[in-house]
Amino acid sequence: MNLNQITVPSLDLSKSIDFYQKLGLKLIVKSLPYYARFECPDGNSTFSIHLTSKLPQGDGIYVYFECEDLDKKVDGLKSNGVLFEQDPIDQSWLWREARLKDPDGNQIILFFGGENRLNPPWKIKESFK
């Protein structure tokens, strides 16, 4: 099994399309006003947004996009007018993260986890029977 598609809700797809294109995602399906899909610049994953009349309550949705050169990516986005809630910082879970929200309040985390994403020091060891 391979996770390759995430879809988040949006009240205004036109605003969301502009936002995700600024982040660097490539628009590949535009079925306004209901749906849009993007291709991620690295790998084979896709990301989409769908029209909803009501957004989730509470903490909402968190979406993580990994960036090799996180600080450079954030600087470039800032110079293009993208606002961040948190500049890149090193986290205790051994990732470097920057945080922002899309136009619908979905939490977007740009991060670099490197080897620690799949192999943190606290990774569960396989047990053999």
What pLDDT sits at residue 128?
64
What pLDDT sits at residue 6?
95
Domain total for the chain? 1
What pLDDT sits at residue 129?
62
CATH code of the domain covering residue 57:
3.10.180.10
What pLDDT sits at residue 26?
97
Residue 113 domain-assigned (yes or no): yes
| pLDDT tens for the chain, residues 1 to 129 | 988 999 999 999 999 999 999 999 999 999 999 999 999 999 899 999 999 999 998 888 999 999 999 999 999 999 999 999 999 999 999 999 999 999 999 999 999 999 999 999 999 988 666
What pLDDT sits at residue 60?
84
What pLDDT sits at residue 58?
86
Considering only CA atoms, which of 4, 74, 67 is closest in space to residue 39?
4
Residue 32 domain-assigned (yes or no): yes
Residue 122 domain-assigned (yes or no): no
Q: Write the DSSP assignment of 56-119 as a string of letters.
A: PPTT--EEEEE-TTHHHHHHHHHHTT---SEEEEE-TTS-EEEEEE-TT--EEEEEE-THHHH-
Structural domain containing residue 59: 5-117
Residue 70 domain-assigned (yes or no): yes
Q: How many CA atoms lie within 13 A of 56 on its CB side?
A: 11
Residue 13 domain-assigned (yes or no): yes
Is this structure's pTM higher than 0.85? yes
